[in-house]
Amino acid sequence: MSILQNGFPSLEEIRAANGWPSEERFAKGPVAIAECVQEIPCNPCEAACPMHAIQVGNPITNNPHINESLCTGCGMCVAACSGLAIFVVDKSYSDTLGKVSFPFEYLPLPEKGDEVDALDRSGSFVCKGVVTRVLNPARNDHTPVVTIEIPKEHVDEVRTIRRLNAAEPAVFTPVPDAEYIDDDVIVCRCEEVTAGQVRKAVREYAGESVTSIKRRVRCGMGLCQGKTCGKLVTRIIQEETGKKASEIPPATDRPPVRPVTFGALATAGKGEDDNG
């Protein structure tokens, strides 16, 4: 319900859906927290954990649970999470400071030692923090993981940082004679996002890419992963900006892992798919 009302889950919903490490576990060192409360077909986190600490199981729409005893806080699941919903929290760092590691897909990346604004799940300022690590190896597939140290009392709230030197949004002039899709047409069936909501996001946030609109109004985050709405969102951006479709970057692919039968693999593209 909080996601619908506020755009992010409440602590109570996170605890109910995914569990929460005990204070005894927090005292032992860094530990991962999944903040994934929607029942979506997704499980890359399960395979990413070398300690087999994350369980999604069957059906694939289960919420993930992290076994706090098995988790070493290595952070490998943070970049692997398609929903950018896993964080590593370290409450054992010092008497006064804690650390939070989170995915950060914005440029420019911060550097170790930078003082940054630490934000909560809603994007509101919480406190100042200092970057202690930025990890961006090839295996992260363009999802850098940033770690910051902050006053310990804020580690349950802080989940990201303010973008650095974010460019001012460009001002777009709508194309006057474009053949508009009516505002009340649902373009994303999975998340029930209308053309009007997409158009408003393009105008308010100067959305230049399908990904930027996806982050604002959730189109493309549902079961079909943008198969239905991707082209329509591109078209609405075209209508609003006058750009060509080829100039509008598509959404980043985040395909969920889906069960595929051996029969389907063996006959891929050649014949029958038993799917049974």
Give how far Cα 129 sits from Cα of 73, 110, 114, Å: 20, 12, 8
Of the pair 77, 131, the CB lying nearest ligand SF4 is at 77
Q: Which helix (H) or strand (E) holds 240?
A: helix 230-241
Q: Is 221 in the site for ligand SF4 (CB under 6 A)?
A: no
Of the pair 73, 226, the CB lying nearest ligand SF4 is at 73
- Could you tell me the two tokens for 159? 């989940």
Give how far Cα 67 sits from Cα of 52, 55, 199, 241, Å: 9, 8, 42, 48
Provide the CB-side half-sphere exposure for 275 (13 A, CA): 5
Query: Which x/- pattern, by CB under 6 A, does the window 62-101 give for ligand SF4?
Result: --x-x----xxxxxxx---xxx-xx-x-------------
Residues 66 and 166: their CA atoms lie apart, in Å, by 34
* 227 three-state secondary structure: coil
Of the pair 133, 162, the CB lying nearest ligand SF4 is at 133
Write down the least CB distance from residue 125 to ligand SF4, Å. 26
Q: Could you say which of 14, 17, 33, 34 contacts ligand SF4 (CB under 6 A)?
A: 34
Q: Which residues ranging from 143 to 172 are in contact with ligand SF4 (CB under 6 A)?
A: none
State the residues that interact with ligand SF4 by CB under 6 A: 32, 34, 36, 42-45, 48-49, 51, 53-54, 56, 64, 66, 71-77, 81-83, 85-86, 88
